[in-house]
Amino acid sequence: EKKEKKEKSAPKEEDNLGPLKREQKDAVSEKLGGLLESDSGLEDGGPVQSLRDLKKRSKLGVTSSASSDPEQGLSEDDYAQIKKQLSQEREEALEKERKKHEGDLKFEISELKQQYEEKRKEMLSKTEEEEKKLMQKQREEIDGRIKTKEDELRAAGEREYAAREREMRDRADREKQRRELELEELLGEQEKKLRKEMEERRR
């Protein structure tokens, strides 16, 4: 923020060109291969490429002297002023591109975080659902085992009860037969005694 305020408060180099007119500046831009065609970024013809062209021309001996452009009457100071302005525009374009790239990265990171969070919630939901299904399946298996065991115990109890019932019935039948035999024997003895007494009375 301080940097932006400082940039806003600082006067532009274009305003300090003095006697250099806009027409002269345009002519210089055209002569140096489009040095000022674009101030918006890093495209062809932008400040970076234009500054590279200026450096190449300087190395090749195409200096920015007044004698190199007598029609416009530009001096080395004028060219230095333009070069300085181009450098400033280049820095501004780089800063603008950096901020744009940084904003894009922040947006992509935010999108990735949101996608990750949604995926994590989806996985957690699936995990909880699978755990519920597994617990339900285990509960059903346990309930089935308990029911089977209860059925087995019930069947065993019924078999045992039936066996005891048969045993008690057989015992009761045997006891009944024994008493009937004893009763028959007792009646037989009494009948013999009565017959004997009757015979003795007849005599």
pLDDT tens track for 159-190: 998 999 999 999 999 999 999 999 988 888 88
The yes-or-no verdict on residue 40 having pLDDT over 70 is: no
Phi, psi of 61 (to 5 degrees): 95, 5
Tens of pLDDT, residues 121-156: 888 888 888 888 889 999 999 999 999 999 999 999
What tokens does 143 get?
Answer: 């309930």
Handedness of CA 123, 129, 132, 137 (dihedral sign): negative
Contact between 20 and 79 (Cβ < 8 Å): no
pTM: 0.32
Domain ranges of the chain: 2-95
Q: Going by C-beta distance under 8 Å and a sequence separation of 6 or more, which residues neighbour residue 158?
A: none
Instruction: Look at residue 62 and give its three-state secondary structure.
Output: coil
